[in-house]
Amino acid sequence: MNDCIFCRIVQGTVPSAKIYEDDAVLAFMDIGPIIKGHALVIPKVHYATLTDVPPDLAARLIAVVQRVAAAQQTALQADGVNIHQSNGACAGQVVPHVHFHVIPRFTNDGHRWNWAATKYEAPAEMTALAQRLRAALIP
């Protein structure tokens, strides 16, 4: 996909600061870091969202996410790490090539997620949704 910025990074026609590369997975620095050291992990083949990715490849992506998170802790002395992953424009996905954000966190780094918990009307509402999800799970 020539109009995909991450495919162009994979092809090498757009520069990136690479952290890790193998035949299927690439990790590189995000140019607009939430926190300095923020990295991205992508498959080399273009898939739009996480649910499009074959499970074997998803497992390989997660293994690299784990290694990059560990490197942020050892090399950057991160105190913690956030993994962020968006699917679809309504979820905040801007680049439509599936990617995991790996964001190092430091005590008192000042960043706050805008995460406001809500409530179900009643327990039955939650259990009904759970039932619908159980029925829809692909084995």
- Binding region for Zn ion (CB under 5 A): 1, 4, 6-7, 46, 97
Look at residue 7 and give the partner it binds from Zn ion, ligand AMP, none, a contact being a CB closer than 5 to 8 Å depending on partner kind.
Zn ion
Residues between 74 and 103 with contacts to ligand AMP, criterion CB under 6 A: 86, 92-95
Q: How big is the chain by its Cα radius of gyration, in Å?
A: 17
Which of the choices ligand AMP, Zn ion, none does residue 4 contact, using the CB cut-off of 5 to 8 A by kind? Answer: Zn ion
What residues does 29 pair with on adjacent strands? 39
Any catalytic annotation for residue 97? no
Of 14, 63, 129, 130, the one binding ligand AMP (CB under 6 A) is 14
Phi, psi of 134 (to 5 degrees): -55, -45
77 conformational bin, left if phi > 0, alpha if psi -120 to 50, beta if neither: left
Whole-angstrom Cα distance, residue 34 to residue 102? 10
Distance CA(130)–CA(123), nearest Å, equals 11
Active-site pick, 46, 99, 101, 111: 99
Residue 128's binding partner among Zn ion, ligand AMP, none (Cβ under 5 to 8 angstroms by kind) is none
Q: Does 30 bind ligand AMP (CB under 6 A)?
A: yes
